Amino acid sequence: MPKSSPTSKTPEKSTLPAVTLSSRGAARLKSGHPWVYRSDISAADGVPPGATVRVLDPRGKFLGTALYSSSSQIAIRMIAREEVTDLPQLISDRIRAALAYRKPLVAHTDACRLVFSEADFLAGLIVDRYNDVLSLQILTQAMDAEPVRGAIIETLIAELHPAGILDRVDPRIRDLEQLPPRDSALLWGNKSSTVITMNTHLESGVRFHYDALEGQKTGAFLDQRENYAAAARYAHGDALDVFCYHGGFALHLAPRCSAVTGVDSSRPALEVADKNTALNQREIEWIEANAFDLLRDYAAAGKKYDTVVLDPPAFAKTRRDLHKALSGYKELNLRALKMLRPGGILITCSCSFHVSAADFLQTVASAALDAHKSLRILESRGAAQDHPILLNVPETSYLKCLMSHVSH
């Protein structure tokens, strides 16, 4: 964790409440992971929900400062190696650091993730930029506290001058954190919807409608932004974008392909996709269907494509789902491969953290064997660089995106 200014090295005089870890909890922190589970805490007497706490090992040695949750299984999220005396100031400094980190990395777009929780040393906070609209997700008791919310909003206004800042509330998370219910709403300014342009460097930058008060996640899958541009380099012929949502891949493929079809089971998502087609003056066919059924029927009917994108939702939400998830990925990839002509391109993704890159590769390889196809990997990619991967925090690395050439 980076050193920050509002800290002191004299925890003996601290007024912060203390949490004592078991030796297993202390060992976990020493391995570099910032989380400690409730079962690894030996004492947290009288610590209020969302408190900033001193973390002590079983012998009382100071290990650093953390944000405490009284209800989550993740009871402790480390925030600094030193004692933190002014949390709102620290949060403000860290937001500025997150913006500075992205300056040299993010170009050719007006939409990106500005703060990615642990990966920006701001556990429990996500901030996305959609042109002149900012969208916040506050995921923990500590980030929800009024002085912290105030510091977040003030810093974003001062640094970015947005037209609107929105709070996107996930009721399930507020419930888990035992926070009072809140609705998604404007926190500042008067603008909640806008038009974004991803990948302006492509021959024609692709534009998307964005409405902060609707849609999944924060409204667009920003983590795929660089993969859209990479996919456009290889796509050709007849293309099928499966799990297309608002058409992120399909719209980027359209200028390179003779025909593009997008498939999703969500009608509201396809309605936005259709508006995006008009916005970009493209022609794309959108089909509302269950992707598993559609691929099975199309493969059985002998349909052929030159480019297929598979970008399903996370099949493995927990480690227990791993086996089922892998068989889901295998089935999708097998059917897609059967439909790909020689020289075709398969772009296949997994956003399940519990499915490792090695498991995913093995699953696609096994699907290729069963489909009697030889694949060569063009690129093995992950999330865009505005979603940093923090070493020692494997949860920050979740997206896999393989681009392969079907040789014969």
Q: Which of 118, 83, 79 is nearest to 98 (CA)?
A: 118
> Does the protein bind ligand SAH through residue 243 (CB under 6 A)?
yes
Q: Which is nearer to ligand SAH, 216 or 380 (CB)?
A: 216
Exactly one of 25, 34, 248, 328 binds ligand SAH (CB under 6 A); that residue is 248
Contact indicator for 354, 319 with CB cutoff of 8 Å: yes
Q: Which listed residue (42, 197, 265, 385) binds ligand SAH by CB under 6 A?
A: 265
Residue 327 in the binding site for ligand SAH (CB under 6 A)? no
Is 298 a binder of ligand SAH (CB under 6 A)?
Answer: no
Residue 351 known to be catalytic: yes
Q: Choose the binding region for ligand SAH from 92-100, 171-179, 310-318, 380-388 (rule: CB under 6 A).
A: 310-318
Integer CA distances (angstroms), 53 to 67, 82, 150, 321, 357, in order? 6, 11, 20, 34, 36
Pair 2, 97: CB distance under 8 Å: yes
The footprint of ligand SAH on residues 146-205 (CB under 6 A) is none
Identify the sign of the CA torsion 27, 29, 31, 37. positive
Question: What minimum distance in Å lies between the beta carbon of 216 and ligand SAH?
Answer: 6
* Kind and range of the H or E run holding 98: helix 87-102
Question: Cα dist. 351→149, 180, 319 in Å?
Answer: 29, 30, 14
Q: Count Cβ neighbours within 10 Å for each residue of 98-129 and write b for 16 or more, e otherwise.
A: bbebbeeebeebbbbbbbbbbbbbbbbbbbbb
Q: Report the residue number, 90 or 351, with the smaller CB distance to ligand SAH.
A: 351
- Name the β-bridge partners of 356: none
Site membership for ligand SAH, residue 311 (CB under 6 A)? yes
Q: Which residue is nearest to ligand SAH (CB)?
A: 248
Count interface residues toward ligand SAH (CB under 6 A).
Answer: 18
Least Å distance, CB 114 to ligand SAH, is 19
Burial class (CB in 10 A: 0-12, 13-18, 19+), 58: middle
Q: Which of 145, 269, 308, 401 binds ligand SAH (CB under 6 A)?
A: 269
Cβ(402)–Cβ(43) below 8 Å: no
Hey, which residues between 197 and 236 contact ligand SAH (CB under 6 A)? 221, 224
Residue 261: CB minimum distance to ligand SAH, A? 13
Q: Which residues are catalytic?
A: 351
Applying CB under 6 A, the residues found at the interface with ligand SAH are 221, 224, 243-246, 248-249, 264-266, 269, 290-292, 311-313
